[in-house]
């Protein structure tokens, strides 16, 4: 199962059926202190990258809303230094990919984009917010599922293998700081196409 099949089954169709509550972008702000804990207690640095994944809908109002998000992110590049780019994968999923050395800027931009979706009535199109961390040459992620309203850790060791032991360690340290998904069957991997890549590449 590829990364986008994963998104479709767990963050999309399956999670929509099992959704616990509506998406709430305020949940994202737990990541503000989690960045500090990840570095101070676990040795993971901010990778300087985060992404928002969403599915589109064929409507003028949706397209206008996405253009509004892009325009404000573009206007904010000069002020915050947060760069962004859009990526449409071959499965039809959309990504807003943000890069900034300041994790607070990344979080603010992700929150703004997600909040706009929800305010405009398109919260159901949001799939996941993904925050990347580095320890040496290895990536670790905190993934927020909008359909489930919770975070979960993901630590890939290749393009189809993961480090469950480290994931449970991340859970134990960040539990209470982040609203962590309690059902581990929803800790679904977002495999990169190649080992060492980000899931959105």
How would you write the pLDDT of the chain (201 residues) with one tens digit per residue?
Answer: 444 455 555 454 554 445 445 667 888 999 999 999 999 999 999 999 999 999 988 999 999 999 999 998 988 888 888 999 998 876 678 999 999 999 999 999 999 999 999 999 999 899 999 999 999 888 999 999 998 999 999 999 888 899 999 999 999 999 999 999 999 999 988 888 777 788 887
Q: Give me the pLDDT at residue 19, please.
A: 47
Give the chain's domain count. Answer: 1
| Residue 7 resides in a domain | yes
| Residue 192 resides in a domain | no
CB-based burial label for 62 (10 Å; 0-12, 13-18, 19+): middle
Give me the DSSP letters along 50-90.
Answer: EEEEEE--S-HHHHHHHHHHHHHHHHHHHHH--EEEEEE-T
For the chain, give the number of residues: 201
CB-based burial label for 35 (10 Å; 0-12, 13-18, 19+): buried
| Residue 90 resides in a domain | yes
Distance CA 12, CA 69 (A): 22
Distance CA 35, CA 153 (A): 13
Assign 32 to helix, strand or coil. Answer: helix
What is the CATH classification number for the domain harbouring 62?
3.30.70
Q: Give me the pLDDT at residue 62, please.
A: 93
CB-based burial label for 146 (10 Å; 0-12, 13-18, 19+): buried
Residues 6+ apart with CB under 8 A from 39: 45, 46
Distance CA 183, CA 92 (A): 28
Q: Give me the pLDDT at residue 4, please.
A: 47
| Structural domain span for residue 51 | 3-186
132: which DSSP letter?
A: E
Q: Give me the pLDDT at residue 156, please.
A: 92
Distance CA 162, CA 157 (A): 5
Q: Give me the pLDDT at residue 22, please.
A: 66
Q: Give me the pLDDT at residue 21, please.
A: 53
| Residue 199 resides in a domain | no
| Residue 195 resides in a domain | no
| Residue 33 resides in a domain | yes
Q: What pTM did the predictor assign?
A: 0.87
CB-based burial label for 136 (10 Å; 0-12, 13-18, 19+): exposed
Q: Give me the pLDDT at residue 75, please.
A: 85
Neighbours of 123 (CB within 10 A): 19
| Residue 166 resides in a domain | yes
| Residue 197 resides in a domain | no
């Amino acid at each position: 199962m590829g990364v986008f099949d994963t998104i479709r089954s767990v963050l999309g169709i399956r999670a929509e059926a099992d959704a616990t509550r509506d998406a709430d972008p305020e949940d994202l702000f737990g990541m503000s202190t989690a960045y500090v804990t990840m570095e101070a207690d676990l040795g993971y640095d901010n990778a300087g990258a985060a992404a928002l994944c969403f599915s589109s809908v064929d409507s003028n109002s949706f397209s206008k809303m996405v253009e509004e998000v892009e325009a404000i992110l573009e206007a904010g590049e000069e002020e915050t230094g947060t760069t962004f780019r859009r990526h449409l994968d071959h499965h039809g999923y959309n990504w807003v990919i943000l890069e900034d050395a300041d994790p607070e800027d990344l979080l603010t931009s992700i929150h703004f984009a997600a909040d706009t979706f929800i305010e405009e009535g398109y919260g159901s199109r949001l799939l996941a917010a993904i925050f990347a961390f580095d320890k040496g040459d290895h990536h670790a992620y905190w993934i927020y599922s909008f359909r489930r309203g919770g975070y979960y850790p993901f630590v890939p060791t290749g393009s189809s293998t993961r480090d469950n032991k480290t994931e449970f360690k991340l859970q134990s340290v960040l539990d209470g700081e982040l609203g962590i998904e309690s059902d581990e069957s929803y800790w679904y991997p977002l495999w990169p196409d190649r080992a060492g890549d980000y899931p959105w590449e």
